[in-house]
Amino acid sequence: MTRIVTVGAAQMGPIARDESREQVVERLRRLHAEAVDVGCDVVVFPELALTTFFPRWYTPDLDGHDSYFETSMPNDVVQPLFDDAARTGCGFCLGYAELTSDGHRFNTYVLVDGTGAIVGRYRKVHIPGHADHQPERPFQHLERRYFEESPDGFGVVNAFGGSVGMAICNDRRWPETYRVLGLLGAEMVFIGYNTPLYYAPDPDQNPLQSFHNNLVMAAGAYQNGMFVVGVAKGGIEEGVESLSHSQIIAPSGQVIAQATVSGDLVISARCDLDLCRHYTDTLFDFSTYRRPEVYG
């Protein structure tokens, strides 16, 4: 018996600095409804899907951006999206800034099933950018100032008939992300991102952003026999242009759905999770062929 999951990638266009949470949640609900209309079992939203990408601005006090953080999830503003999941049976993966009750700040993903319940939580492991004020840049990337590195690492969740992992933005560039999730048995990995097209440390990489985006996700999918769903918040947000090109990648490394324009939209693919075994039981059978004793 095949295990089919129809997954949607809900790409978002820019979120303005003064756009309210209520306005953003209505956008998310429209995308969720579109995913339901095309038969999705789960829809994946981008990193920091409730707010503009606030780490591009410096504040003298560390808590200067705390208004962009959520202190509970779900909360009253986001609850309608959870209600939509319970009503339709279509789950979702949502990225947001999390401020914990004991004062920790994380870049977080939650996985919500078709009953509207949170079944998984992931906090970003690989935090990019810088922590110090660098006003000479056209815009800053202060993730290392406003977010802590996850102390939890990676994990998988049994949901939607398979084994699901999560990662966020810069995590997708590191092979360890996919390998650890692969060793844990992940069959599908959800990755949200906000990726500026201008990279201040080395602008020669600017024209390669889309190529690198596909390269790392496709390699991770193929080398670990998993589906990878990469979802952008792209377009020109508060003067900063970011990558779109959301895509769904099969365990073969082939792109099976891709966004060809920026803005709010849903792409989807019907994924047979048993296809993962064509790779994890053959060429990438870790128990047979992997040699960790010589990797030191």
The residues carrying an active-site annotation are: 47, 124, 169
DSSP state of 281: T
Q: Which of 51, 42, 39, 69 is nearest to 12 (CA)?
A: 51
| Pair 168, 47: CB distance under 8 Å | yes
Say how far apart CA 147 and CA 129 lie, in whole Å: 11
Sheet holding 162-168, edge to edge: 156-159, 162-168, 188-193, 227-232, 247-249, 255-258
Sheet holding 4-11, edge to edge: 118-123, 105-112, 91-99, 42-44, 4-11, 265-272
- Residues in CB range of 103: below 8 A, 6 or more apart: none
Say how far apart CA 165 and CA 154 lie, in whole Å: 8
Helix axes 79-88, 21-37, angle to 10 degrees: 10
